[in-house]
Amino acid sequence: MYRIGYSLSPKEVHSFIQNSLLDHAKQRGINLIEIDPTKPLTQQGPFDCIIHKHYDSDWNNQLYQLSLDHPNVVVIDPPQAIEHLHNRVSMLDVVTSLKIPQGNQTFGVPKQRVLDESENLMDSIEELGLKFPLIAKPISVDGSAKSHEMFLVFNENGLKKLKLKKPIMMQEFVNHGGVIFKVYVVGDHVKCVKRSSLPDICEETLNSVAEHEGFLLFSKISNLIAKNDEAEGGSSDEVEGYCCGVEKLVEKAEMPPLEFVMELAKGLREAMGLKLFNFDLIRDSRDGNRYFVIDINYFPGYVNMPEYESVFVDFFCDVVQEKRKKNSDGEVELDVKKNHHEEEELCE
């Protein structure tokens, strides 16, 4: 049995470590073992591989020490690589630098800008030529509810009333047909699913929003949540209007070309040095071949990915087989060196 250690938050353990996953893993010779956060990591194990999702420096230091003491333990993923996804600027910078085969498809990120403490919101928007509606979101992604608190801003009044603490990311909202594509990456394994998102906002709708309303609050870009008691000016009629008919839009939406999705996932995986993540992809309503990456998340809610159990068990098998191969190659190399040394001694 190969031993895969996991260290996740209680919420993630509850959702991810299902009996179906444990049973499927055991059938393939994989034993999933929970790491005790109250004990030093070096006193636990042994592990063939560790998966994790933590944000504190103490955990990172423990992983570093484990790598020194037990270099054969595969750590997925390196903390320094994960940290790039804790900032919404560095998170999407990698997308613009990708060079991948695209066919008829093009990709990028929506026009966006970070507003610092000293900047006036409206002046910066006009200077950059950004157009309403805009999405306002915190720069930091630390796993807290606050870091996922985002606003859809309709007009200048809504911009003035924002309660987000600067610096904040202002990103143009791109009409995308009310459908978002969530691409899950687990090593070389890639799954793309479609989910409901914000419906297109036409000029008429934008102009009909009353000046005193201004913005709506939603916890995640892909799922509008009616929190009108928390967000000044957001009316329930607007929310119902946006959500109306979304299920039909999702049902009718065509999936992005598989080859394009696979190449994009591979490019991101190699550029970021990460194996466990997902990214949100939208298709521009004005151009069916134009796509935008709007978010990248480390170790997302994989339970929402179809057949996540078999995908992960295949991934774990890939990891241990690659480890076995490296160990075997190392042993062969040592044997070659040993034989060569013995031959030299005989010659002498």
What interhelical angle do 308-347 and 19-27 show, nearest 10? 40
Residue 177 is labelled as binding a ligand: yes
Q: Chain-centre distance of CA 177, in angstroms?
A: 22
Residue 197 is labelled as binding a ligand: yes
Residue 338 is labelled as binding a ligand: no
C-alpha torsion sign, points 200, 206, 210, 213:
positive
> Can you tell me which residue has the tokens 């957001």?
234
Task: Take residue 289 and report the two structure tokens written for it.
Answer: 């071949």
Instruction: Using alpha carbons, list the distances in angstroms from residue 332 to 113, 134, 320, 328.
Output: 53, 59, 18, 6
Residue 267 is labelled as binding a ligand: no
Residue 297 is labelled as binding a ligand: yes
> Can you tell me which residue has the tokens 């049902």?
251
Residue 93 is labelled as binding a ligand: no
Residue 280 is labelled as binding a ligand: yes
> Can you tell me which residue has the tokens 């069916």?
288
Residue 161 is labelled as binding a ligand: no
Residue 88 is labelled as binding a ligand: yes
Pair 59, 78: CB distance under 8 Å: no
Question: Would residue 178 be called left, alpha or beta, if left means φ above 0 and alpha means ψ between -120 and 50 degrees?
Answer: left
Instruction: Using alpha carbons, list the distances in angstroms from residue 184 to 3, 130, 236, 275, 348.
Output: 24, 30, 32, 10, 60
DSSP letters for 30-63? EEEEE--TTS-GGGS---SEEEE----HHHHHHH
Residue 173 is labelled as binding a ligand: yes
What interhelical angle do 88-96 and 258-272 show, nearest 10? 120
Residue 301 is labelled as binding a ligand: yes
Pair 4, 316: CB distance under 8 Å: yes
The Cα 118–Cα 122 span in angstroms is: 12
Instruction: Using alpha carbons, list the distances in angstroms from residue 157 to 112, 232, 319, 323.
Output: 19, 11, 52, 57
Read off the DSSP letter of residue 279: E
Binding-site members for ATP are: 88, 137, 171-182, 197
Binding-site members for Mg(2+) are: 280, 295, 297
Binding-site members are: 53, 88, 137, 148, 171-182, 197, 280, 295, 297, 301
Binding-site members for 1D-myo-inositol 1,3,4-trisphosphate are: 53, 148, 182, 297, 301
